[in-house]
Structure 1
Amino acid sequence: MPDLYPLFADLTALPVLVVGGGHVAERKVTALLAAGAQVRVGALLLTATLARQVEEGEIQHVGDTFRSAWLDDVWLVIAATGDRTLNAQVAAFAKERRIFANVVDDPALSRFQVPAVVDRAPLTVAISTGGAAPVIARRVRETLESELDHALGPLTALVQRYRSRIAQRWPNLAERRAFYDRLYDGSVMTLLRSDRPDDAERALLDALGANEAVSSSGAVMLVGAGPGDPGLLTLRALRALNQADVIVHDSLVSDAVLALARRDAERIDVGKRCGGRHTPQELIHRVLLEQARAGRRVVRLKGGDPFVFGRGGEEMEFLREHGISCEIVPGITAALACAAYAGIPLTHRERARSVHLLTGHCKESLDGMDWPALAQDHQTLAVYMSVAKLDELMRGLLGHGRRADTPFAIVEHGTLPQQRVLRGVLHELPRRAKERGVQSPALLIIGEVAAMAQPWFGAIHD
């Protein structure tokens, strides 16, 4: 089959015919209506949706049995009947009249193919295999959906409004291309991504009136890497990793997640390891500031969620105080992920009415806990960074009335291939953990729901 000529058709107010009334035809009608076409449908039986659209005047029903007159004055025809003989007849009449025809799932009878589409209106990406392998086109579309930022649509619309002014401001093509690059990489795109279109437009107008193009000062994205399983990374986090010039990451960020990042991005490890190397928070602030001021796109990659025991709030405040644009990309925090991978619901209608997220990484954290409230039954305690403080946690809860037989579960290396879960009851918590050699990173879950742990992922020990 010869190569197809790629073409985007303006069907606004043009009559288009769809032959067929099933669910496939319904999908074609939906896409044609979205393109502004005047849709006519010919079929004996119509789906409920198509019948409603005919009744409400959205589309026109031209008849039950195909006749060549249906093709009068139409610009495009789609045959979607499931009857190859009828589809071939439609295609033949269309060819005689020089009307482009598509026969669904039959490239040999088709004069055009309907591509898989990634919609970032007014930006549209179309993918076609010429009808040879639609499944491959679908997989490519899925990949692009995860890669292409949703802010590209608003950016394209914004640039469209100011295209002539941009061309006048920078008549030299190379300078104009550099300006567009800065729009894409700089503050305008960041503002659109943060759903601040008015601020983005002001930034573009400021650039149009300035002697220089849009500021090339960098920005920082505080990105949650999730608990370790790369499959739990959000789409926005994945896009950030592929756009980053430099990645400033914690030790809890897994190698599998880092492997998804842009290959030429610089990686700076600022991990804080219990009993090992410790990067002061002030140094992390300085690194972020220096990298952003150098005009680089910085991803501050944190295990879990930046705002749950991740000091993301402090970093956000510091950056804003120094005039650095800062975007937040949430991640799946360990309490949610580790509990789910251990088969433990954090809430349960009969066993847990509330959840408390706690940290046991230092004495000050334990001293500030409301022990009488935490010792109440029918609530779940999810304790981060608790391995070194299990004795104190047990004594504090038992000393304030928590039942000695309250179930616990420790999820070690949660969501990773080496995950294991240790179950028991509260009064034996430190001893059991020591016997099993539990090490960080581990999440401790205390409460009635901990007894529900099921070994659907990794090892489990009682």
Structure 2
Amino acid sequence: MSLTVSLRIDLAVVACIGKGPRLLAKARQCADQGARVVWIDHSALPDEAPAGSECLPDWPADAALTGDDYGLVLIDTGAADEDRQWLDRVDRLVPVWMPGQEPRAQVQFPAAIQRGPLRITVDTGGRWPTVANWLRQRLDTLLPEGLANVLQGMTGKGELSSLLATPHQRRHFWYRLLEGPLVNRAHQMPEAELQAALDQSLERASAESGQGEVYLVGAGPGDPDLLTLKALRIIAQADVVLYDRLVSREILNRVRADAEMIHVGKERSRHTLPQDQINQRLVELARDGRTVVRLKGGDPFIFGRGGEEIETLAEAGVSFQVVPGITAASGCAAYAGIPLTHRDHAQSVRFVTGHLKNDSCNLPWRDFVQTNQTLVFYMGLVGLPIITRELKAHGMAGTTPVALVSKGTTPEQAVLTGTLDTISERVEESTVRPPTLIIIGDVVQLRDRLSWMG
């Protein structure tokens, strides 16, 4: 098993035994991070040794390498037997790197990108170094050259928490700095000019309100690939995320790793947190100076109660943004091969909540019975018998095609088709479970020809 961690070495002296290209590469990585590199048992420094390296010739045959002198030992003589002989002379408390699968040599060097004090590593557990280097090269091209200068310049500014009081201020400062023009030209600027630009950015951030901001983000119908680019960017900035039960684990995995996660999902007749308490919680978290994401399945403004939440935020004077998402009707219908509109079958589409409270039917059923129209019922599985009964009672033909899309756009997607006359009975015989979308109209009959998900 391999765990990717950083090794803190109190004694930053690295002993090198050997001189092959692999060892030289590791030695250079250590030297680039400020370590003192010492070559053991060499009469002269190897070619391409890092600048500042030292050489200790004629190392005594019975001398051990201990933690009193070295924080890390690198061994690669080119001969496995000789490597093991040297390994036997290393104190067991000293971390060791050497090629091969020697159990005691537990240190691995991932491919690394260096930008000033920033270090990004790509680790494949030592199995595919070529893959790690390929990805490192790809990532390296994405980072502006001036990033190192900006980060190095920020090291002299002290702790940001003493200058910017709230997490939202600090996060907003960093994102504006890193996504702004300064990182693209910092490596061409005189040091004094760069420091002045950084000071100006800090002053601007400190002058802003310490109150946080709330983002209502649509997570789409389930497939993480259907997240918008803006949604991905926002959830990577969140200090705290309040999420619904319909938001998939794959999407939650894209949230910043150290963000606080609060489940506020709702199920029929059981709410983890009542809506008014969710609204107030958003206000409280923002007033604490945090970047808050309210992550909703589908789109926040289509049966997502996003309107109620922003009303509360507006009344409280809390800044907010709405990030639309692909709604369930669009995503599930597309993945099921059912066009919601079609020149020959439907010139309009109507979204309806099928979540009937106390079996009530206070819906304009007569308006739903239209030719060339597609009906999409959200949250309607439990109320399906009532929906089919009322549509037929108000004049819709019992032969009208119906499709149920369960867990749409996910690997567990299931589609059940029938008619108003047959669909309720077919559901009872099936394993269809919520969340389920109901599509009613002539467009459903196109599924057999157009479905690409099966």
* Category of TM-score, reference length = shorter chain: 0.5 to 0.7
Structure 1 CA distance, aligned partners of 2:138 and 2:440?
Answer: 42
**Structure 1 residues 367 and 353, CA, compared in 2 at 3 Å: closer, same or farther?**
same
SS at match of 1:438: coil
Shift of 1:186: 4.3
**Structure 2 counterpart of 1:379:** 373
Listed one character per residue, the Cα deviations across residues 275-294 of structure 1 (whole Å, up to 9, x for unaligned) are 44442101101211111111
Shift of 1:188: 12
Contact 1:384 1:444 in 2 (8 A): yes
Q: Does 1:369 align with 2:363?
A: yes
Listed one character per residue, the Cα deviations across residues 71-117 of structure 1 (whole Å, up to 9, x for unaligned) are xxxxxxxxxxxxxxxxxxxxxxxxxxxxxxxxxxxxxxxxxxxxxxx
- Pairing 1:277-356 to 2, within 5 Å after superposition: 277-356=271-350
Q: Does 1:392 align with 2:386?
A: yes
SS at match of 1:382: strand
**Structure 1 residues 440 and 236, CA, compared in 2 at 3 Å: closer, same or farther?**
same
SS at match of 1:290: helix
SS at match of 2:344: coil
Shift of 1:377: 2.1
**Structure 1 residues 411 and 182, CA, compared in 2 at 3 Å: closer, same or farther?**
closer
Structure 1 CA distance, aligned partners of 2:173 and 2:421?
Answer: 54
The amino acid of 2:255's aligned partner reads A
Which of 223, 229, 238 does residue 232 from structure 2 map onto?
238
- Pairing 1:36-435 to 2, within 5 Å after superposition: 139-140=138-139, 173-174=157-158, 178=163, 185-186=171-172, 213-363=207-357, 367-435=361-429
Shift of 1:334: 0.3
The amino acid of 2:404's aligned partner reads I
The amino acid of 2:442's aligned partner reads E
Shift of 1:368: 3.7
Shift of 1:369: 2.3
Shift of 1:135: 7.9
SS at match of 2:416: strand
SS at match of 1:236: helix
Contact 1:407 1:447 in 2 (8 A): yes
**Structure 1 residues 379 and 138, CA, compared in 2 at 3 Å: closer, same or farther?**
farther
**Structure 1 residues 295 and 176, CA, compared in 2 at 3 Å: closer, same or farther?**
closer
Structure 2 CA distance, aligned partners of 1:344 and 1:439?
Answer: 20
Superposition RMSD on alpha carbons, in Å? 4.1
Contact 2:244 2:263 in 1 (8 A): yes
Contact 2:243 2:294 in 1 (8 A): yes
Structure 2 CA distance, aligned partners of 1:208 and 1:233?
Answer: 34
Structure 1 CA distance, aligned partners of 2:227 and 2:139?
Answer: 19
Report which stretch shifted further, 370-379 or 272-281.
272-281
The amino acid of 1:185's aligned partner reads R
Contact 1:246 1:268 in 2 (8 A): yes
Provide TM-score, normalisation by structure 2.
Answer: 0.58
Provide TM-score, normalisation by structure 1.
Answer: 0.57
Structure 2 CA distance, aligned partners of 1:364 and 1:321?
Answer: 31
**Structure 1 residues 444 and 377, CA, compared in 2 at 3 Å: closer, same or farther?**
same
Contact 1:179 1:214 in 2 (8 A): no
Structure 2 CA distance, aligned partners of 1:134 and 1:456?
Answer: 40
SS at match of 2:398: coil
- Pairing 1:15-54 to 2, within 5 Å after superposition: none
The amino acid of 1:345's aligned partner reads P
Shift of 1:389: 0.7
**Structure 1 residues 138 and 342, CA, compared in 2 at 3 Å: closer, same or farther?**
farther
**Structure 1 residues 448 and 294, CA, compared in 2 at 3 Å: closer, same or farther?**
same
The amino acid of 1:353's aligned partner reads Q
Kindly tell me the number of residue pairs found equivalent between the two proteins. 303
More helix by share: 1
Q: Mind listing any 5+ residue stretches in structure 2 that lack a counterpart?
A: 1-20, 26-131, 145-155, 180-198
Shift of 1:136: 5.1
